[in-house]
Structure 1
Amino acid sequence: MDAPIIRLLRPDDAGAYRTLRLQALRDHPEAFGASYEDEVARSLDMTARRLDGGPLNCVFGAFAGDDLVGTAGFIVPDRSAKSRHKGLLVGVHVSPAHRGRALGRRLVAAVIDHARAHVVLLQAGVGVANTPALRLYESLGFRQYGLEDKALRVDGVFVDEALIVLDFAGDT
């Protein structure tokens, strides 16, 4: 079997992206800031527009044949003069059937390569109990700079998040 292809998602990938994203939000609500309920209420057109956000708001996808099996996104949420040097790694997910094949690593590496051309800092939040993700990010050069207590509340249970950063300028 050929290795999955990693590429930027386009608006015509919206259906596949929405399906995979809803699966991720349903199966792992503690891993995402978005909720299944909020996302399912969004139209396919809104999803397509999200995938047409330009270089400062984009999603990479991993394709096994024609099937979208993983995603990782990049956004620059604050484009003001004093904050536009910071971007976020978001929405990292690999479908269960395709885990253990370094797809998460390849997706995050694609975001890192892309982000390097646009920001100085790439930040993310990851649940402190998500040891595999924390190990992956650390192996790619991220370091923890903080902890957000009760970052998310999922079904009445609080999730603490490690705040991590990759500094492209090398200043630590």
Structure 2
Amino acid sequence: MTRLAKAMPIALAALLSASAALPQDAEQKPDNITAVTNENGRYLTADGIPTYKIAPDGTIDWLTYSGFRRYHSECHVCHGPEGEGSSYAPALKNSAVAMDYYDFVDVVTNGRKKVDASHNSVMPSFGDNVNVMCYLDDIYVYLKARGTDALPRGRPGKKEAKSDAIRQAEADCLGH
């Protein structure tokens, strides 16, 4: 077992069990924004989907802050600053809100190719890139916060402390 598979954050586990977790009735779309639980600094919706938490004073959760940093180191070159999109890649801040979480994870992990008469877009696979996969939930919640306009453009000012559980999961995933 690779170190990446051994300690993957919620993202890979969610992808592997996606069929069991998908809503049965497409008409009743679950709330994929509101945090209802906090598991050692990881905020989750009622359906167990990672999400952001922003306090009334503007303090953001650690994963959203980390997602800002990771997005700007790995994703912004194609998808533009703050998830706003570019001339050749879509605005991921919109994708994180509109797409199902499991579809988002699948596209980042496996990539996607859309080539036809009116499209020519290729999203490469990042499934072997620990700098993306170990922080995929972080990137996702950052983009979700941007996509709902809960988080303005620019470097977040105040952040929660990194929990020991998040610190350990990061070390395990990175093989430290």
- TM-score normalised by L of structure 1: 0.26
- TM-score normalised by L of structure 2: 0.26
Task: Give 1 or 2: higher strand fraction.
Answer: 1
Task: Give 1 or 2: higher helix fraction.
Answer: 2
Flag the structure with more relative contact order, 1 or 2, with Cα contacts below 8 A and sequence separation at least 6: 2
